[in-house]
Amino acid sequence: MPTVLITGTSSGFGLVTTVELAKRGWNVVATMRDLGKRTELDRAVAAANAGKLVRVEQLDVTDPQSIDRAIAAVDLQGRPLDAVVHNAGVAVGGAFEDLTDAQVRRVMDVNYFGVLALTQRLLPALRAQRRGRIVIVSSEAAFAGQPANSPYCASKWAIEGWAESVAYELEPFGIEIVLIEPGAYRTNIWESSPRVLPETSAYWPLLRHLEVTIETYVAKLARDPVEVAKAIANALDAPRPRFRTAVGPAARFLHLARGKLPSRVVRKIFGRFFALNKVRW
């Protein structure tokens, strides 16, 4: 049985991916920053009758000591780690000028530097066994900028550039990198992310408009996150996975549009979709 470590499994993609991989016979080390939030995962694993294949550990990808403890726990199981799924992620909504430095850095620390820190810690063992698969949950936000979401978009653009570069270095050791790029899915990142919407903001008309239109967009178009879990599991099971997999219609469209349509055209498409012409400044 292969073994995989997954980050951010208390909800969303991480939770359903844990269940999907356990159902496929993977040993899963399901990690989360706050073990007090494991109840939903425990229920889902029990319902799938997969408890024997799932082990829950604490892991904060921004804390080097936490990373060390989680990896030590995996080593104690006596099984080599075959793969890691980098799923932990955060966002903050708001106009860039209104955000604090701490809010912006938090997004980058989790979504970008956290992936780098955990990967770097795992690489010596993966190189020694000359095999391994590193799966990164990216986003459609890696293909085009989004208003009031600049830190999150920047973190996804950054992680994709890093992944494309480090793939050259790891290929000789049999280590593969895979990017999974979902569109809008029903996960709690929409509710859990802070939104900075001060009424005194110079950008208040835009922010208020987006608050309403994005909620409508998510309610109408957000899809079942199990689709993403299956895409991740397929990438881990495949003999030769694709480097990039866009999941969902919006992500596939933006994936095709990237590099083929001018940025100005893409912004116009986004502007019409979110009816930005109706914003009254």
Residue 133 pLDDT: 98
What letter does residue 185 receive in the DSSP assignment? B
Per-residue tokens: 132: 């391994």
- Domain 3-199+224-257, CATH class in plain words: alpha beta
Backbone angles phi, psi at 32, to 5 degrees: -155, 155
| Residue stretches of the chain with pLDDT short of 50 | none
Residue 220 pLDDT: 78
Residue 22 pLDDT: 97
152 is catalytic: yes
- CA 74 to centroid of chain Cα atoms: 22
Q: pLDDT by residue (tens digit) across 231-249?
A: 999 999 999 999 999 999 9
How far is the C-alpha of 244 from the C-alpha of 262, rounded, in Å? 21
Per-residue tokens: 140: 């459609």
Nearest to 137 by CA among 27, 227, 210, 249: 227
Backbone angles phi, psi at 78, to 5 degrees: 75, 15
- The one catalytic residue among 152, 168, 185, 217: 152
